[in-house]
Amino acid sequence: MTLRIGIDLGGTKTEAIALDLAGRELARERVATPKGSYDGTIATIRHLVEGLESRLGATATVGIGIPGTVSPRTGLIKNANSTWLIGKPLDRDLEAALGRPVRLANDADCFALSEATDGAGAGLATVFGVILGTGVGGGIVAHGRLLAGPNAIAGEWGHNPLPWPEDGERPGPACYCGRSGCIETFLSGPGLARDHGGGLTAEQVARSDSPSAEAALARYEQRLARALAAVINVIDPHVIVLGGGLSKLERLYRNVPSLWRRFVFSDHVDTILRPPRHGDSSGVRGAAWLWPPQ
């Protein structure tokens, strides 16, 4: 194999990238995801891989980032927003379609791996990659390797309760997981929009200079600081890299580290908070890096 191909399987778009062995981008393609069709998803990924290999005249390893994970117990997909994947042996079916081994990982894990390999966390021992978008997810990379446990949920901080809740934050909004007050319900894009309460999207809140938007963003920063402080207390990462649509809020990088200090169990906090180096391309690049350098 002389190339790495990464696939980012999204709910609406599926993107493929080809990297050479040094991580340089050689080609990229994006197509619509065949929403609701499992067989169509398999065919789409096969088409993308075969098309890039034909275009570049080389064979490749294949890594795929998915909006869910493979259950270690059953070998089937679980926790997927793309519900047509749930309960399917996606890795085995893709291996049969492509005639080679494939590696699958949660899309937030792929983001973290990308930024740890040659992104904002490159050269640092422990990286916590965060997704702040429609949902809230995360991945942990230690010494260049994704942290993976027996339940395949490492980094799923979005479904922990918001730490140190204030009176007005209890019991918190209902979450699709069946509980209330999850971090995701506060820190996702829809969570920010709901907290603002003015009928604006999270992007519109972020652009607004109204007093109500400023108040919502200040609450958001304070909640993000508490949520990340709890992560720092558990895994003590060298760097936290933010991804997803809300990671584009430049004020987060100025304000959140000063806010998290009072919640971190240390006399000084040296953890760095950074935006992603690869932006929206980090997930697909991380999928390619699921096959590490030899």
Question: Quick one: tokens of 65?
Answer: 């980032």
Specify the 3-state DSSP secondary structure of 256: helix
End-to-end, the C-alpha distance of the chain in Å comes to 11
For the chain, give every residue range classified as CATH 3.30.420.40.
3-107+281-288, 120-276
> How far apart are the C-alpha atoms of 278 and 7, rounded to whole Å?
15
Confidence of residue 2 (pLDDT cuts 50, 70, 90): confident
CB 101 within 8 A of CB 95: yes
Question: Quick one: tokens of 198?
Answer: 């003015």
Interval 237-287: pLDDT, tens: 999 999 999 999 999 999 999 999 999 999 999 999 999 999 989 999 999
- Name the strands in the sheet holding 136-142, side by side, starting at the edge strand that comes first in the sequence: 145-146, 136-142, 126-132, 239-243, 272-274
- Report which of residues 293 and 131 the model is more confident about: 131
Strand pairing report for 126-132 and 69-70: unpaired
- For 209-244, the three-class secondary structure string (H helix, E strand, C coil) is CCHHHHHHHHHHHHHHHHHHHHHHHHHCCCEEEEEC
Q: Which DSSP string corresponds to 174-212?
A: B-TTS-BSBHHHHHSHHHHHHHH-SS--HHHHHH--SHH
Query: What pLDDT is attached to residue 1?
Result: 59
> How far apart are the C-alpha atoms of 76 and 86, rounded to whole Å?
7
Interval 173-211: pLDDT, tens: 999 889 999 999 999 999 999 999 999 999 999 999 999
Interval 100-144: pLDDT, tens: 999 999 999 999 999 999 999 999 999 999 999 988 999 999 999
Q: Which DSSP string corresponds to 93-159?
A: HHHHHHTS--EEEEHHHHHHHHHHHHSTTTT-SEEEEEEESSSEEEEEEETTEE---TTS-TT-GGG
What average pLDDT does range 40-51 have in this prediction? 97
Out of 3.40.50.11890, 3.30.420.40, 3.40.50.2000, 3.40.50.460, the CATH code matching 3-107+281-288 is 3.30.420.40
> How far apart are the C-alpha atoms of 285 and 25, rounded to whole Å?
9
Compute the CA torsion angle 247, 251, 253, 254 (nearest 10 deg): 180
- Name the strands in the sheet holding 60-66, side by side, starting at the edge strand that comes first in the sequence: 25-32, 13-19, 3-9, 60-66, 103-106
Out of 3.50.50.60, 3.40.50.20, 3.30.420.40, 3.40.5.50, the CATH code matching 120-276 is 3.30.420.40
> pTM of the entire structure?
0.93
